[in-house]
Amino acid sequence: MRLTRGRVVGAAAGVVGIVFLVLLPLLNLSLPGVLPGPTYTPGSLQLLAMCMLMAAAALTYHLLLGVAGLLSFGHALYFGAGVYGLAITLQNLDIPLLPAMGLTLLVVIVLAHVVGSISLRVSGIPFAMVTLAFAQAGSVVVGRNPEGATGGDEGLTLRTDNLPDFLVGVVNTRNLYWLALAVLVAVFIIVTWVQSSRAGHVAAAVRENELRVRVLGLQPYLVKLLIFVVSAVLVSIIGMVFLLLQSGAVPRAVSADLTITLLVMVVLGGVGSRWGAVIGGVFYTILDQRLTTLANSDAIDALPDILRVPLSEPLFILGTLFILVVLFLPGGLTGTAQRLAQRRSRRGGDRVQKSREILEEAA
């Protein structure tokens, strides 16, 4: 009964939250120090849309690490394949957006099957190194700019000839925000469904003890490959929406730095928690954006060199925060919140028990 009631309350809270986020671009709300302006302005909407896309990308990494226990250093390869695949398709083929996305998706599915089938022949650190090698190969291809297809270090500008008018221009940032929100909700639903499916349960069992799963007659390799491909496909779709939001493709979309960023998001939020991945993605993205502004502020420039030099580097602050979370907040932000809630409930239960004992003694 408690479990059912908790699910109902959670579902109701989720619906209310989604409705609020849908209406947010129509409201005049301000969060000084967090958003660059009121929520209806293009700058704030773009930052919020970026938060949602990064939260969705962290959810796909949660499938790999939190569900299947696969530490991949090459997840950015499929994000970049979505970004560059759609950009190259739109630039070279005269086809509308949806067919271009479908064609890009087919390429990503084949790529994920090939890379996954090779990488999953090993496990642990060797698996991480193999995925990193494939991602580095993709980064090298983008940097070499074969036949001028990728734009090299300068990246590619999004060709808007075949895009719907409601997705083009700063004036339509609100529509891109709603598209990013729809992607986040869809990815969360799909990840929840996969995690609660038979394949998700088997993947979790493989994460805990692969040998026991083999003894039971199941095939861990196929389950891990399924999780690998689903995660790659989802993050490639996020990459396509990222391209529309940023109006261009940049080499960082394929770099290992992006994979490390997703890993940090998942760890900050709490490994194994879907909401942790979402919270970690939003928290990291906002912090990254605002720390960049802070690093270039006059207040930082006025500090002594011993403070100004480290504080002018946002990555130094983010790295320090990551170390502190790992050392002092095991389980991330969501794990810490759960432990605090459990302590409060225990204290409440102890108080109720003491009250009963006092009443019994008085009687």
Least confidently predicted of 132-141, 188-197, 255-264: 255-264
Q: What are phi and psi of 206, to 5 degrees?
A: -65, -40
Task: Choose which CATH entry (1.10.3470, 2.60.40, 1.10.10, 1.10.1060) describes domain 42-295.
Answer: 1.10.3470
User: Considering the entire predicted model, what is its pTM?
Assistant: 0.88
Residue 352 has what pLDDT? 58
Q: Which of 53, 93, 91 is nearest to 246 (CA)?
A: 53
Helix or strand run (H / E) with residue 105: helix 97-119
- First vs last C-alpha separation in the chain: 33
Please tell me whether residue 157 adopts helix, strand or coil conformation. strand
Report pLDDT digits (tens) over 314-358. Answer: 777 778 888 888 788 777 888 888 787 777 777 766 665 665 666
CA–CA dist 59, 281 (Å, integer): 9
Q: Which of 254, 260, 309 is nearest to 288 (CA)?
A: 260
- Across 179-204, b (16+ Cβ under 10 Å) vs e yields bbbebbbebbebbeebbeeebbebbb
The torsion defined by the Cα of 119, 52, 32 and 323, in degrees rounded to 10, comes to -20
Compute the chain's Rg from CA coordinates: 23
CA–CA dist 155, 143 (Å, integer): 9
Could you tell me the residue ranges of all domains in the chain? 42-295, 339-363
Q: Which of 79, 110, 125, 171 is nearest to 133 (CA)?
A: 125
Report pLDDT digits (tens) over 186-243. Answer: 999 999 999 999 989 999 998 888 888 888 888 899 999 999 999 999 999 999 999 9
Cβ contact 203:224 at 8 Å: yes
Helix or strand run (H / E) with residue 249: strand 248-249
